[in-house]
Amino acid sequence: MKRVLLFLFLISCSSVFADDGSRLWLKYDLIKDEVYRKSLVKSYNQIVIQFESDKAKLAAKEIQIAFKGLTGKELQINLASKPELGGFNSIKKGILLTIGTDKSEKESEGFRIQSQKGSSLIIGKSEQGLIYGAFAFIRLIQMQGTLDFTINENPKIQVRMLNHWDNANGTVERGYAGSSIWKWFELPYRIDPRYIDYARANASIGINAASINNVNASSRFLTAEYLEKIKAVADVLRPYGIKVFISVNFRSPRTLGGLETSDPLDPGVRKWWKDKTDEIHQYIPDFGGYLVKANSEGEPGPQDYGRTHADGANMLADAMGDHEGIVIWRAFVYDADPDGDRFREAYDQFKPLDGTFDKKVIVQVKNGPIDFMPREPFHPMFGSFPETPLAMEFQITQEYLGHSTHLNYLAPMFKECLDSDTYAEGKGSTVAKVIDGSVHGYPITVMAGVANTGSDANWTGHPFGQANWYAFGRLAWDHTLSSEKIANEWVKQTLTNDSEASQKIVGLMMNSLPAYINYTYPLGLHHMMGEGHHYGPQPWLEKSGRPDWTSVYYHRAAKDGIGFDRNGGISNSLKLYAPEVIDSWGNPDKMDLNYLFWFHHLSWDYKLSTGKTVWDELMSRYYSGPEEVKEFQKTWDSLKSEIDIETYENVKGRLAIQYKESLWWRDACYLYFKQYSGMPLPNSLKEPERTLQDVIELEQIYHLR
């Protein structure tokens, strides 16, 4: 805690920052609007802490630093002279930090803020709620909101977690912003100041958990050497209310303990995990728990011994004993079956186990049934597991979404899934209400996001990648927030408070995902990216380590048409959903065309509800995508006077890359699919200057050594 307060003090002593994006959305620069700035200066003279505690001091210090940066005025932090102090009338020109007296809310992380000109009350429903309330108050000032307001907030999800796919050697799997932020070779003796920046940023948007290593886990993270390092990280994150989780390798009893087996029903194995869990708690008393990827993509698991996922998860839950930690067991599993449908693999493996998991276990399900595609139907497991708590797993890092070169605001993708109706308990049983426990009464609720943080100065590579981290946290806190509102918050805290400029940027962000889908995966196409690196198009991929790693497995393009028939043709996966969902997606003439080829194989000349044939609609979308990116470039160019030059030039360069690569996607997919359709482009569209062989060779460059 002393280390954290020292760091905040050093921030307050420095008034000059290079605007390299390192401050994320916590940019406490002087407010340009002089009228608003003067009103703040006039309204507040002090910060008053009603009770003395480390978290209250932390919250007060953050407000003090923010106020000094935003207004130029330093507020004094005082301890209330009277413990019973409360209400607007008891404090003049001050910000009072206090804890509510409602005993039923004492465990809540929520807060209330009541503000009138001249005084503001930030009332945490717990000490942690006080920190969240302080950041919410700062956010309102950053956005230059009214000083007369009342806010009452509680998080809708209990565990709001970042999943880091960081490795012990400093690399990050599917990371596009440099190396890992965790400097394992320096820990525990040197604490990088960015750990505190990371904690502050997460606390400011309500994230309260972090699994700090790759789900393709190394057993090394369970050694005493690494537990000491993880302890040092946990000590930095703890003051901000962030618990540490560890991803574990299921084979660890063999690789670390020297046992002959890792069978979850073996007494020796069970004892090994029990002892290891107790050992972890000696280093990290508030250890969050285990995250497990098992029997997936070559990772070991209980099925290696003829056991079930429930056997493995329950063994770890039993090892947790009386500790408060939980076990998060990932449902990302699929068999290499050329005649099967990967779409339904997780459902088929886990559905028979519903109700057999320990109360400390939650099963983590990706938002869609394949693998973080730019647009997927919601996973059929949501709404189908009344007896097993299901966690949501989103991907913030842009594995299939242009890595860090394409501007892609993902809140609309998150929202599209969360707002989808499962009809599990009738109309209104949205995915969001399933995972927050409203539908089935889950005792544990979790939303996880695969992190996009790295060692780059701006954390995320693409400056707009920060918005996806921000959006995930805000939606995990409150999934009812709109994508536009979240985008507006981020823009005004990070880029500009100018009304016209921020409106343009929000518009650009909201259009970015639809544009990307148009030039990559229109009409529900999926999984056609470059093999291994997952960058750029490779719709011609037909041979790989397993059939469901190819592109042709999914798009099924042939002379007779395109698309994966999951409505009873190739598979009957559509029937995993409720009847109402089947009705909405089962008829190609009436359904949302964005999901068309997820469920239907249609002839190239099939007439769609748009009035166009499948071929013409597909090509119209492929060709519209690059044109939309050109408009993004024009919009960004018009903002040069409103954006700091470093950020402006960074995004300008990346948009140029994005435009070039949108043409690559367009040309590759048109030239490849043309072989099967035999149909010309619609009259208004021009033929590419390159050939199919040209774009194939371009993709092959990525595999050169």
Mind telling me the catalytic residues? Answer: 297, 371, 399
Residue 245: how many other CB atoms lie within 10 Å: 26
The residues near 485 (Cβ < 8 Å, ≥ 6 apart) are none
Backbone angles phi, psi at 529, to 5 degrees: -85, 170
Beta strands in 128-179 (DSSP E): 149-153, 159-163
- Is the CB of residue 115 less than 8 Å from the CB of residue 148? yes
Per the document, the length of the chain is: 705
Place of tokens 């097993």: 388
Write the DSSP symbol of residue 430: B
C-alpha distances in Å from residue 264, one per residue of 270, 312, 330, 348: 6, 5, 17, 22
Buried/exposed 156-170: b ≥16 CB within 10 Å, e otherwise? bbbbbbbbbbbbbee
What are the tokens at 267?
């007494």
Helix (H) or strand (E) holding 362: strand 361-366
- Is the CB of residue 526 less than 8 Å from the CB of residue 660? no
C-alpha distances in Å from residue 625, one per residue of 479, 634, 666: 29, 15, 8
How many whole angstroms separate alpha carbon 145 and alpha carbon 154?
21
Q: Is there a cis peptide before residue 239, judged by omega within 30 degrees of 0?
A: no
How many whole angstroms separate alpha carbon 133 and alpha carbon 127?
10
How many whole angstroms separate alpha carbon 278 and alpha carbon 204?
32
Residue 424: how many other CB atoms lie within 10 Å: 19
How many whole angstroms separate alpha carbon 202 and alpha carbon 591?
39
- Is the CB of residue 73 less than 8 Å from the CB of residue 32? no
Reduced to 3 states (helix: H, G, I; strand: E, B; else coil), residue 616 is helix
- Is the CB of residue 325 less than 8 Å from the CB of residue 248? no
Sheet holding 119-124, edge to edge: 76-79, 46-49, 94-99, 119-124, 111-116, 149-153
Compute CA 177 distance to the chain's CA centroid, rounded to the nearest angstrom: 15
